[in-house]
Amino acid sequence: MSRYTGSVCKLCRTEGEKLYLKGARCYSDKCAYERKPSSPGEQGQSRRRRKVSEYGLQLREKQKVRRIYGLQENKFHRYFKEAESDNGITGEVFLQLLESRLDNVVYRMGFARSRNEARQIVLHGHILVNGKRVNIPSYQISEDDQVAVKEASKNKDTFEEIFEVNSNLTPPEWLTVNLEKGEGTVVSLPTREDIEYPVEEHLIVEFYSR
């Protein structure tokens, strides 16, 4: 499956709720979903009122979370299988694996304005983990890992703009960040309580357990 390249705002309208795919813009009055929340197409409003089956609810929740993290189906499913083989609660382990991806951590620390931008920043080699360059967005961070923007990249216009936009960002409790220095620390692995998005992970577990 190829990566989605269309308007990400349409994805929010399809799911019927904000997925915060454009970062800070989603919190402003420029948010396209706020201006036009109906589903794409002329019959958007009527489609949203249709009764949805149990399978439909499970599918929509799975698609919503997959789109939040910007993953293709095969990769998303592999994370679920990994979580399923863990001794913990499958749904919670699954979300922890998604949150612990390097591209998500870069976004959460404020080194990018969206997860998609964070993925590109990692791929282009701008990020160091424990002093070593890592260009794999799916790299799993660990407790006490040090994540930083490469010194040679900090003064680039892109990062100056990112740091300015995210200057008032409050990182989650499992991360500590010094945005001025472009560096942060993973204090602990994320827990279920650290994920503020309205996610019903039990629906995803039910979908893949059919």
**Range with the poorest average pLDDT among 23-37, 44-58, 147-161, 187-201:** 23-37
Q: 149: which strand partners?
A: 127
Q: How far, in Å, CA of 146 to CA of 15, rounded?
A: 35
Quick: pLDDT tens for 34-46. 666 666 655 555 4
Q: Band the pLDDT of 1: cuts 50, 70, 90.
A: very low
- Tell me the one-letter amino acid at 80: F
- Tell which CATH architecture fits domain 8-98+196-208: Orthogonal Bundle (1.10)
Sign, CA torsion 196/116/137/161: negative
Same fold, 8-98+196-208 and 110-186: no
Q: How far, in Å, CA of 62 to CA of 136, rounded?
A: 24
- Tell which CATH architecture fits domain 110-186: Roll (3.10)
Q: Quote the pTM value.
A: 0.79
Predicted local confidence at residue 52, as pLDDT? 86
Q: 163: which strand partners?
A: none
Residue 47 has pLDDT above 50, yes or no: no
Residue 12 has pLDDT above 90, yes or no: no
% pLDDT > 70, the chain: 77
Quick: pLDDT tens for 170-200. 999 999 999 999 999 999 999 999 988 889 9
Residue 74 has pLDDT above 90, yes or no: yes
- Higher-confidence position of 5 and 97: 97
Domain boundaries, the chain: 8-98+196-208, 110-186
Distance of CA 30 to CAs 5, 42, 127, Å? 21, 22, 29
